[in-house]
Amino acid sequence: MTLPEITTPPEITDSHCHLDFPDFAGELDKVIARANEAGVTRMVTICTRLKNEPSVRAIAQTHKGVFYAAGTHPMSVAEEPMVSVADLVALAAHPKFVGIGETGLDYHYTAESAQAQKTSLRIHIEAAQETGLPLIIHARDADEDMEAILTEGMKIKPYPCVMHCFSSGPRLAQAAIDLGFYLSMSGIATFPRSQEVRDIFATAPLDRILVETDSPYLAPPPHRGRRNEPAYSALTAKVGAEVFGVSIDDFAAATQANFDRLFAKAAQHGERGSLPA
């Protein structure tokens, strides 16, 4: 009798998740174990309010293959003390702190704080310039201002950057690519009505693409409408492979190389979770 071939899933990195959110309370060990079983051996958990940084840091310190970033989310700027460059630079000393943000502009829900958001974004850009760590950008309904501020910053001093959970328009996508930035594909790209988003990704170079969940939000099918988790970035990667017309193994390998290039500190750290035997 011929036994079925056992295949190991391709290795994937969930470049953006929120493991400190209450949605994962009490089962984080199981969530991370399921991610590893799906081939997701590295995760970057994002702190969106600096007052929560100690708990996010603790998650990264406790779990193998989990790194973290911190900043003030644009939707929280009006409720939080304005961050300083010194605050962010100090956090960057931690060996598992690998990115600045998420920061950015959100005029969909919080347009009333637009000026404060712009100030905060410029502070985060300066921290990325000083540390060399990648800036992690949230952009919603603010494409024109986002392009202008990101371009303004690059003229002052170059910095690395990823447009997280990219779902903006083609002009901002092209501007980001022209600036040398990366676009991150989330569960949004897997939704049936997201053909425009998939078309935008298809025009980008494969060597500028990352994969993420933004969990606990934006679960891809067949989990849509339920809690997202890092394991499901493997489902988004399968759709990404289809968008770029390559095998899942080749797409996973490309996004791994892209992550290592952008998040060089995480790559140099070398830590990963365990793939299934």
State both tokens at 130.
Answer: 């000083």
Produce one character per residue of 122-145: b if its CB has 16 or more CB atoms within 10 Å, e if not: bbbbbbbbbbebbbbbbbbebbeb
141 among annotated binding-site residues: no
Residues in the chain: 277
Using alpha carbons, select from 122, 79, 124, 84 the residue that is nearest to residue 102: 124
Question: Is 199 annotated in some ligand binding site?
Answer: no
Residue 214 assigned to a binding site: yes
Interatomic CA distance for residues 14 and 273, integer angstroms: 12
94 is in an annotated binding site: no
Helix H or strand E encompassing 171: helix 170-178
What is the Cα–Cα distance from 181 to 217, expressed in whole angstroms? 24
* CA atoms of 159 and 177, how far apart (whole Å): 13
Is 124 marked as binding a ligand? no
- For the chain, first and last CA: distance in Å? 22
Sign of CA dihedral 90, 99, 21, 77: positive
Sole residue written with tokens 């193998």: 64
Query: Is 23 one of the annotated binding-site residues?
Result: no
Cα–Cα distances (Å) from 85 to 31, 71, 88, in that order, read 33, 10, 5
- Report, in angstroms and rounded to the nearest whole number, the Rg of the chain calculated over CA atoms: 18
Please tell me the number of Cα atoms within 13 Å of 133 on its side-chain side: 29
- Under a CB-based contact definition with an 8 Å cutoff, are residues 201 and 185 in contact? yes
Binding-site residues for a divalent metal cation, in ranges, read 16, 18, 102, 138, 164, 214
Binding-site residues, in ranges, read 16, 18, 102, 138, 164, 214
